Copies of this chain bind each other. A is one copy, B any other.
Protein backbone atom coordinates (compact mmCIF):
# COMPACT_ATOMS: atom_id res chain seq x y z
CA UNK A 1 0.00 0.00 0.00
CA UNK A 2 1.28 3.41 -0.96
CA UNK A 3 0.66 6.52 1.15
CA UNK A 4 1.16 9.83 -0.63
CA UNK A 5 2.53 11.70 2.33
CA UNK A 6 3.89 14.93 3.77
CA UNK A 7 5.91 14.65 6.97
CA UNK A 8 4.63 17.94 8.44
CA UNK A 9 0.95 17.23 7.69
CA UNK A 10 -1.01 16.16 10.73
CA UNK A 11 -3.58 14.54 8.46
CA UNK A 12 -0.87 12.37 6.89
CA UNK A 13 0.54 11.71 10.35
CA UNK A 14 -2.81 10.30 11.52
CA UNK A 15 -2.33 7.50 8.98
CA UNK A 16 1.38 6.94 9.65
CA UNK A 17 0.69 6.87 13.39
CA UNK A 18 -2.12 4.34 13.18
CA UNK A 19 -0.16 2.13 10.77
CA UNK A 20 2.77 2.16 13.19
CA UNK A 21 0.59 1.35 16.22
CA UNK A 22 -1.28 -1.42 14.39
CA UNK A 23 1.79 -2.87 12.69
CA UNK A 24 0.61 -2.16 9.14
CA UNK A 25 3.43 -1.69 6.61
CA UNK A 26 3.09 1.36 4.36
CA UNK A 27 5.10 2.41 1.33
CA UNK A 28 5.62 6.13 2.03
CA UNK A 29 5.72 8.32 -1.09
CA UNK A 30 6.71 11.90 -0.14
CA UNK A 31 4.75 14.56 -2.03
CA UNK A 32 6.38 17.78 -3.29
CA UNK A 33 3.79 19.85 -1.46
CA UNK A 34 5.56 23.20 -1.77
CA UNK A 35 5.89 22.49 -5.48
CA UNK A 36 2.15 21.86 -5.69
CA UNK A 37 2.40 18.24 -6.84
CA UNK A 38 -0.93 17.46 -5.12
CA UNK A 39 -2.66 20.01 -7.38
CA UNK A 40 -1.41 18.42 -10.64
CA UNK A 41 -1.61 15.04 -12.37
CA UNK A 42 -1.07 12.32 -11.42
CA UNK A 43 -2.13 13.15 -7.82
CA UNK A 44 -5.08 15.39 -8.72
CA UNK A 45 -6.49 12.45 -10.71
CA UNK A 46 -6.25 10.26 -7.61
CA UNK A 47 -7.83 12.96 -5.41
CA UNK A 48 -9.76 15.75 -7.14
CA UNK A 49 -9.91 17.53 -3.73
CA UNK A 50 -6.20 18.39 -4.29
CA UNK A 51 -5.29 17.25 -0.80
CA UNK A 52 -3.12 14.66 0.89
CA UNK A 53 -2.92 12.04 2.29
CA UNK A 54 -3.96 9.68 -0.49
CA UNK A 55 -3.84 5.91 -0.02
CA UNK A 56 -3.44 3.51 -2.93
CA UNK A 57 -4.02 -0.20 -2.36
CA UNK A 58 -4.31 -1.88 -5.73
CA UNK A 59 -7.54 -0.63 -7.29
CA UNK A 60 -8.60 1.12 -4.08
CA UNK A 61 -7.79 4.86 -3.96
CA UNK A 62 -8.85 6.88 -0.91
CA UNK A 63 -8.74 10.54 0.05
CA UNK A 64 -9.58 11.84 3.56
CA UNK A 65 -7.49 10.73 6.51
CA UNK A 66 -10.54 9.48 8.43
CA UNK A 67 -11.58 7.25 5.54
CA UNK A 68 -8.07 5.86 5.25
CA UNK A 69 -8.10 5.02 8.98
CA UNK A 70 -11.40 3.17 8.53
CA UNK A 71 -10.02 1.21 5.58
CA UNK A 72 -6.79 0.22 7.29
CA UNK A 73 -8.60 -0.72 10.50
CA UNK A 74 -11.16 -2.93 8.75
CA UNK A 75 -8.70 -4.57 6.38
CA UNK A 76 -5.46 -4.85 8.26
CA UNK A 77 -5.79 -4.22 12.01
CA UNK A 78 -6.95 -6.02 15.13
CA UNK A 79 -10.71 -5.47 15.66
CA UNK A 80 -10.23 -3.38 18.79
CA UNK A 81 -9.02 -0.42 16.73
CA UNK A 82 -12.48 -0.04 15.20
CA UNK A 83 -15.38 -1.75 17.01
CA UNK A 84 -17.72 -3.60 14.64
CA UNK A 85 -20.88 -3.35 16.78
CA UNK A 86 -23.29 -0.51 15.91
CA UNK A 87 -22.85 1.42 19.17
CA UNK A 88 -19.06 1.11 19.15
CA UNK A 89 -18.62 2.02 15.50
CA UNK A 90 -21.01 4.97 15.86
CA UNK A 91 -19.11 6.17 18.93
CA UNK A 92 -15.93 6.17 16.85
CA UNK A 93 -17.76 7.96 14.04
CA UNK A 94 -18.65 10.79 16.41
CA UNK A 95 -14.93 11.48 16.83
CA UNK A 96 -14.12 11.04 13.14
CA UNK A 97 -16.64 13.82 12.47
CA UNK A 98 -15.07 15.91 15.23
CA UNK A 99 -11.64 15.38 13.67
CA UNK A 100 -12.95 16.34 10.21
CA UNK A 101 -14.75 19.49 11.38
CA UNK A 102 -14.04 21.02 14.79
CA UNK A 103 -10.40 19.92 15.05
CA UNK A 104 -9.62 20.60 11.38
CA UNK A 105 -11.12 24.10 11.47
CA UNK A 106 -9.87 24.88 14.99
CA UNK A 107 -6.37 23.88 16.13
CA UNK A 108 -5.33 22.51 12.72
CA UNK A 109 -6.32 25.70 10.90
CA UNK A 110 -4.64 27.88 13.55
CA UNK A 111 -1.40 25.99 12.88
CA UNK A 112 -1.81 26.44 9.12
CA UNK A 113 -1.86 30.21 9.71
CA UNK A 114 1.04 30.41 12.13
CA UNK A 115 3.35 27.77 10.69
CA UNK A 116 2.57 27.82 6.97
CA UNK A 117 1.16 31.32 6.37
CA UNK A 118 -2.30 30.26 5.17
CA UNK A 119 -4.64 33.24 4.65
CA UNK A 120 -7.31 32.02 7.07
CA UNK A 121 -9.15 33.99 9.76
CA UNK A 122 -6.92 33.30 12.75
CA UNK A 123 -9.44 34.65 15.27
CA UNK A 124 -12.05 32.25 13.91
CA UNK A 125 -9.68 29.29 14.27
CA UNK A 126 -8.98 30.31 17.88
CA UNK A 127 -12.69 30.64 18.67
CA UNK A 128 -13.32 27.19 17.29
CA UNK A 129 -10.39 25.74 19.23
CA UNK A 130 -11.57 27.42 22.43
CA UNK A 131 -14.93 25.72 22.01
CA UNK A 132 -13.79 22.20 21.13
CA UNK A 133 -10.71 21.66 23.28
CA UNK A 134 -12.57 22.01 26.62
CA UNK A 135 -15.19 19.54 25.38
CA UNK A 136 -12.54 16.95 24.50
CA UNK A 137 -10.69 17.65 27.75
CA UNK A 138 -13.87 17.13 29.79
CA UNK A 139 -14.59 13.88 27.94
CA UNK A 140 -11.07 12.64 28.71
CA UNK A 141 -11.52 13.51 32.37
CA UNK A 142 -14.07 10.70 32.50
CA UNK A 143 -12.27 8.07 30.43
CA UNK A 144 -8.76 7.20 29.38
CA UNK A 145 -9.41 6.88 25.64
CA UNK A 146 -11.99 8.59 23.46
CA UNK A 147 -14.07 5.43 22.93
CA UNK A 148 -14.26 2.43 25.23
CA UNK A 149 -11.44 0.88 27.20
CA UNK A 150 -8.64 0.86 24.61
CA UNK A 151 -7.25 3.15 21.93
CA UNK A 152 -9.12 3.27 18.63
CA UNK A 153 -8.78 5.08 15.33
CA UNK A 154 -10.76 7.88 17.02
CA UNK A 155 -7.70 8.66 19.15
CA UNK A 156 -5.47 8.52 16.07
CA UNK A 157 -7.78 10.92 14.22
CA UNK A 158 -8.17 13.51 16.98
CA UNK A 159 -4.86 13.50 18.86
CA UNK A 160 -2.42 14.80 16.21
CA UNK A 161 -3.82 18.31 15.76
CA UNK A 162 -4.57 18.58 19.46
CA UNK A 163 -0.94 17.81 20.24
CA UNK A 164 0.18 20.25 17.52
CA UNK A 165 -2.09 23.05 18.83
CA UNK A 166 0.85 24.95 20.38
CA UNK A 167 2.24 25.39 16.83
CA UNK A 168 -0.91 27.44 16.19
CA UNK A 169 -0.41 29.53 19.32
CA UNK A 170 -2.84 27.47 21.42
CA UNK A 171 -1.42 26.44 24.79
CA UNK A 172 -2.50 23.15 26.35
CA UNK A 173 -1.67 24.27 29.91
CA UNK A 174 -5.35 24.57 30.86
CA UNK A 175 -6.17 21.10 29.52
CA UNK A 176 -4.62 18.55 31.89
CA UNK A 177 -6.65 15.66 30.50
CA UNK A 178 -5.54 16.38 26.95
CA UNK A 179 -1.91 16.38 28.09
CA UNK A 180 -2.38 13.11 29.99
CA UNK A 181 -4.03 11.53 26.94
CA UNK A 182 -1.27 12.67 24.58
CA UNK A 183 1.26 11.17 26.99
CA UNK A 184 -0.72 7.92 27.05
CA UNK A 185 -0.69 7.85 23.25
CA UNK A 186 3.05 8.48 23.20
CA UNK A 187 3.56 5.56 25.58
CA UNK A 188 1.79 3.05 23.31
CA UNK A 189 3.98 0.27 21.86
CA UNK A 190 5.02 1.21 18.33
CA UNK A 191 4.23 4.92 18.77
CA UNK A 192 5.62 7.03 15.94
CA UNK A 193 6.48 10.69 16.58
CA UNK A 194 6.42 13.58 14.12
CA UNK A 195 8.03 17.02 14.33
CA UNK A 196 6.13 18.89 17.06
CA UNK A 197 4.82 15.74 18.77
Interface window among A20-28, A100-108, A165-173, A175-183: A100-108
Contacts of A105 in B (CB 8 A): 101, 105
Contact in complex: A97, B94 (CB < 8 Å): no
Q: Determine how close the nearest CB of chain B comes to the CB of A89; give it in whole angstroms.
A: 6
What's the number of copies of this chain in the assembled complex? 2
Map CB proximity to B onto A108-124 as digits: 1 under 8 Å, 0 otherwise: 00000000000001001
Contact in complex: B94, A74 (CB < 8 Å): no
A6 within 8 A of B: no
Q: Determine how close the nearest CB of chain B comes to the CB of A148; give it in whole angstroms.
A: 13
Nearest B residue to A66 via CB reads B97
Contact in complex: A90, B62 (CB < 8 Å): yes
Within 8 A of B (CB), among A23-79: 48-49, 60, 62-64, 66-68, 70-71, 74-75
Cα(A96)–Cα(B63), bound, Å: 12
Contact in complex: A74, B86 (CB < 8 Å): yes
Q: Knowing that A60-B87, A67-B94, A70-B86 are A-B contacts, what are 17 other residue pairs whose CB atoms are under 8 Å apart, sorted by A's residue number?
A: A48-B138, A48-B139, A49-B135, A64-B93, A64-B94, A64-B97, A66-B93, A67-B91, A67-B93, A67-B97, A70-B93, A71-B86, A71-B90, A74-B90, A93-B96, A100-B101, A101-B105
